[in-house]
Amino acid sequence: MRIAIDTMGGDAGPRAAVQGAALAALSHPGLCLDLFGPHAVLTSELANLPRHLAAAGSHLCVHHAPAAIRQDQRPSDALRHGAQTSMARMLAHLADGGGAAGVSAGNTGALMALARRELGMVADMPRPAISTAIPTRNEGRCYLLDLGANVDASAARLVDFACMGEVMARHVDGLAAPRVALLNVGSEGTKGSAVVREADARLRERTALNYCGFVEGNGIFAGAADVIVCDGFVGNAVLKASEGLARMLIERVQATVEARWSGRLVGLMARPALRRLKGELDPVRYNGASLLGLAGIVIKSHGSAEATGFAYAVERAVREVKQDLPSHLARELVGGRSAQHSTRAKGE
C-alpha cells in the first residue's frame, strides 16, 4: 500500500510529517509513503531521523515539490497558482494512481478545492464533508460531520452527511446498523432551525437508516449515537471546544495531583490511571479527519499536529484504504439517491 504525504502544510513544518510518516511505516511493514516537498529539505529530514525511526527510511520516497500553499491562501488562488506546491502535486499523484490515499495538514479550503478538482466527487455530491471520530463513554466513539467544509448547509446536504457518515461507520468500524442523529438544541420535534427540522423529516423517510432523531450537545460524548450530523459552523465549534476542554482537564488533573508532596505520592500511585485517562481524552489520538464524498481518500491532519498526531492521520488513511470506502460510498449513495428520487416522483 502506498500513501502520499503533503509534508509542507502543518504548523510544525516538514519534520512532523516526515517523522509521523516514519512512525506509521514502522507500524505497517508493507506500507510505503511518498513524501512531497522541496527535495533538499526532505532528504535532510530523512538523513536526520531519530535513531528509533531510522529503519523506516527505506519505506519513504521523496518527490520534489518546490512550493507550499500558505495557511492564509485563498482556495481560488491555490487552484490557479498552486500547481508546483506539495499539496497539489500530492493530489495529482493520487489522481494518476500513484497512491491509494493522501494525507495533509495544510490549508483546509485549498485541500478541499484541489482534491475536488483532481479526484472528483461520488454520487454527484457537490462538496466534501469533513468528519472525524469523537471519544464517547465506555471507550467508544462517534463520527461528527460536518466540521467546517459546509458552514451553511441545506436540509438536503444534512441528509447527505447522514448517509455518508452511516456508510463510513458501517464499513470502517464494522457497525451493523450505526445510530444516526441530528445535533440540535433540544430533543423535541419543535426545537431547532427550519433547516434542521426539515432534515429530520427527510431522514425519517429513509427507512434503511437507523435514524434516532435529535441529540443535544451532551449526547455526543455520552455515546447517544454513532453518527452525529450538523452544519460545518456548529461542528467546527464543537470540535475545537472539545479539544480545548480535553487538554484543560488533563492539565488540571496533573496540576492538582502534583500540588503537594502528599499529592505527588498519590500521583505516583495513580500514574497508570492518569496515563489511561490522558490516552482516552488526548485529541492527538483522534487526529485525522476524512474528506467524505471524494472519489478518493484524503485525510486532513490537524495543522498543529506533531509526529505522533500525524501518524494517527496516516493510520486513518490506511484503515479507509483497506475498507475501500469511496467504492462503498459511490455504490450506496447512488442507490439511495435513486430511491429517493423515485419516491418523490411518485408523490408528485
The predicted-structure confidence for 2-18, as pLDDT tens digits, reads as follows 999 999 988 888 999 99
Distance of CA 203 to the CA centre of its chain: 24
The DSSP secondary structure of 263-298, one letter per residue, reads HHHHHHHHHHHHHHHHHHH-GGGG--EEEETBSS-E
pLDDT tens for each residue of 255-302? 766 665 555 555 565 566 556 655 555 555 668 899 999 999 999 998
pLDDT tens for each residue of 293-336? 999 999 999 888 899 999 999 999 999 999 899 999 988 887 55
The grid cell for 305 is: 499536529
* Stated pTM of the model: 0.85
Element (H, E) at 240: helix 232-257
Tell the CATH topology of 1-125+293-324: Isopropylmalate Dehydrogenase (3.40.718)
Residue 347's pLDDT is 42
- Which residues in the chain are classed under CATH 3.40.718.10? 1-125+293-324, 129-286
Q: CA-to-CA distance for 337 and 96, rounded, in angstroms? A: 29
Percent of the chain clearing pLDDT 70 (strictly above): 86
Q: Which stretches of the chain drop beneath a pLDDT of 70?
A: 254, 256-286, 335-348
Q: Which long-range contacts (CB under 8 A, 24 or more apart) does 337-340 make?
A: 337/123, 337/124, 340/205, 340/206
What is the β-pairing status of strands 179-183 and 227-229?
parallel
Superfamily of domain 129-286: Isopropylmalate Dehydrogenase (3.40.718.10)
Residue 58's pLDDT is 92
Residue 258's pLDDT is 63
